[in-house]
Structure 1
Amino acid sequence: MKRINAVILDWAGTTVDFGSFAPTQIFVEAFRRAFDVDVTLAEARVPMGLGKWQHIEALGKLPSVDARWQAKFGRAMTAGDIDKIYATFMPLQIAKVVDFAAPIDGVVDTIATLRAQQIKIGSCSGYPRAVMEKLMPAAAAQGYAPDCWVATDDLAPGGRPGPWMALQNVITLGIDDVAHCVKVDDAAPGIEEGIHAGMWSVGLAVSGNEFGATWEEYQSMSPQEIATRREGAAAKLYAAGAHYVVDSLAALPEVIADINARLAKGERP
């Protein structure tokens, strides 16, 4: 039967950690501790979705960060510099990630709805395994536990925007057609991951990195500010190739119903 059999979900900003603050704040802290170089929260968000070593590398290549680095050291960032920042980042992230393990509003109910439709729940993350081993049980204790998970350093080819983590979910879950899978993410590299894996890709414009607000900030925003931020986030996700963009995971069942209708007519991603 041509229908969605599995969803593959990102973590921070998609299922837990509204606004994706756990990783971004730690990048800022790691740069400061390792080399006394300042990066802003907005800069730290730009490469979100990549593996964390690759994220640091991309962050160092941003013109604004590179200019500060060059002014301080008279040279561009090296692989050794990235290693030192990563070594600083990891223990900070492992210690902090459990504080951002609460499921985003609507996630637990959405997962229950999907499971009632016999849809399997996969997941993957830009977090390395050492971080995921802390995050998984903390999230499970608060009501969210996917059927499987893959960390960015689990597979030799690498992480996003390549398809490998998404495809490992397909293998683990036993799904026979990638066109019967939906990849959901709040950042561009994760959308590209789904596209490269041959899946339907759904972007989340409000709950995650591109919107970039805490739940409390979001709740206090004016409708105009929400609309402006949503529009900007959606544009980035559509530009990355998203087939659909919705506010949060709570809207996913409606998207899947639409995809199922398209599959029934013979459409593919």
Structure 2
Amino acid sequence: MKKIECVIMDWAGTAIDYGCFAPVSAFIESFNAIGITITAEEARRPMGLTKIDHVRALFQMERISEAFRKKFGRDYNEDDVHGRYAEFQRLLFATLREYTGPISGVIETIDILRSRDIKIGSTTGYTKEMMDVVVPAAAEKGYRVDNHVTSDGLPAGRPYPYMIYKNMCDLAVPSRFSVLKYGDTISDIKEGLNAGVWTVGVVLGSNEMGLTEEEVKALPADELKRRMMEVRNRMYAAGAHYVVDSIEELPALIDSINTRMANE
């Protein structure tokens, strides 16, 4: 019988770093360093890509490219991309360890999945060097995966499917129908769809929501509901098979997917 045997988690905004704040501030400050202001919304829009591709995506935004042209009297080039990426890395590494706290409910839910013999893989927009900081720091706080993959050494990162395929190889998962990709960005969803696996988005704690846990709790109920619906709609529009409010819904959702596959 076909069933879910592997869940592949994203990291920031999905498993750790509620609201995905570590990279956002570093992107904003890296552009501030050359006198170009970018908003948090702009910084979040390409989230989930490899970080060098994220910088390129920021430069490609019409408002930002025009601001650069106005300030420097020329179009940006790859040297500018690599310059902002280098500054981004400097800023990120200075604070990255501080943003490795597990999101509420993640550790307990992963324990439930493991008790069902489900393997836990992971993909990320971070590089290997960044994950060399994140993985042990998260483990100290109780969050561990069975496998973590970066795009280093692969043909490309998200939205391409290669990191998912590498997880499947590393964890000996033979069928894409047995894999569920779980993440908080549109890039996560595209990655899962391109790999042909079950693809689930999460709303609370996500980059798409872009709020701290305290900000979420402080929102009036109607406003919170509206914002959550906006995120849910964006994820479904991107092609997500399912969207959940939080990870606590995942075990029951997996039961539903297993039943669905058994009846097909």
Q: How does the TM-score come out when normalised to structure 2?
A: 0.97
Q: 3-state SS of the aligned residue for 1:42?
A: helix
Unaligned runs of 5+ in 2: none
Residue 109 of structure 1 is matched in structure 2 by: 108
Given the alignment of the two structures, is residue 159 of structure 1 paired with residue 138 of structure 2, yes or no?
no
Structure 1 contact 189–240 (Cα < 8 Å) conserved: no
Q: 3-state SS of the aligned residue for 2:87?
A: helix
How far apart are the structure 1 equivalents of 2:207 and 2:176? Answer: 26
Task: Give 1:206 deviation, angstroms.
Answer: 2.0
Task: Give 1:69 deviation, angstroms.
Answer: 1.2
How far apart are the structure 1 equivalents of 2:117 and 2:65? Answer: 48
Residue 40 of structure 2 is matched in structure 1 by: 41
Task: Give 1:156 deviation, angstroms.
Answer: 3.0
| Cα-to-partner distance string for 1:154-188 (whole Å, 9 max, x where unaligned) | 23311000000011101001001011000011111
Deviates further, 57-66 or 139-148: 57-66
After TM superposition, list the pairs within 5 Å mapping 1:61-100 onto structure 2: 61-100=60-99
Given the alignment of the two structures, is residue 214 of structure 1 paired with residue 212 of structure 2, yes or no?
yes
How far apart are the structure 2 equivalents of 1:167 and 1:249? Answer: 23
How far apart are the structure 1 equivalents of 2:2 and 2:174? Answer: 11
Residue 128 of structure 2 is matched in structure 1 by: 129
How far apart are the structure 2 equivalents of 1:63 and 1:229? Answer: 26
Deviates further, 199-208 or 66-75: 66-75
Structure 1 contact 206–233 (Cα < 8 Å) conserved: no
Letter in 1 for 2:179: C
Residue 24 of structure 2 is matched in structure 1 by: 24
Q: 3-state SS of the aligned residue for 1:132?
A: helix
Given the alignment of the two structures, is residue 244 of structure 1 paired with residue 242 of structure 2, yes or no?
yes
Letter in 2 for 1:90: Q
**Identity of counterpart residues, as a percentage?**
41
How far apart are the structure 2 equivalents of 1:240 and 1:100? Answer: 27
Deviates further, 129-138 or 227-236: 227-236
Q: 3-state SS of the aligned residue for 2:130?
A: helix
| Closer, same or farther: CA 224–76 of 1 in aligned 2, 3 Å | farther
Residue 2 of structure 1 is matched in structure 2 by: 2
Task: Give 1:197 deviation, angstroms.
Answer: 0.7
How far apart are the structure 2 equivalents of 1:75 and 1:203? Answer: 40
| Closer, same or farther: CA 192–78 of 1 in aligned 2, 3 Å | same
Structure 1 contact 6–182 (Cα < 8 Å) conserved: yes
Q: How does the TM-score come out when normalised to structure 1?
A: 0.96
How far apart are the structure 1 equivalents of 2:72 and 2:246? Answer: 42
Residue 197 of structure 1 is matched in structure 2 by: 195
Structure 2 contact 14–184 (Cα < 8 Å) conserved: yes
Q: 3-state SS of the aligned residue for 2:145?
A: coil
| Cα-to-partner distance string for 1:136-162 (whole Å, 9 max, x where unaligned) | 00000001010010113x233110000
Letter in 1 for 2:211: A
Task: Give 1:36 deviation, angstroms.
Answer: 2.1
Tell me how many residue pairs correspond in the alignment.
264
How far apart are the structure 1 equivalents of 2:258 and 2:154? Answer: 33
Structure 2 contact 154–162 (Cα < 8 Å) conserved: no
Task: Give 1:64 deviation, angstroms.
Answer: 1.9
Residue 233 of structure 1 is matched in structure 2 by: 231
Q: 3-state SS of the aligned residue for 2:199?
A: strand
Task: Give 1:119 deviation, angstroms.
Answer: 0.2
Deviates further, 216-225 or 112-121: 216-225
Unaligned runs of 5+ in 1: none
How far apart are the structure 2 equivalents of 1:174 and 1:165? Answer: 14
Deviates further, 64-73 or 200-209: 64-73
Letter in 2 for 1:65: I
Structure 1 contact 98–135 (Cα < 8 Å) conserved: yes
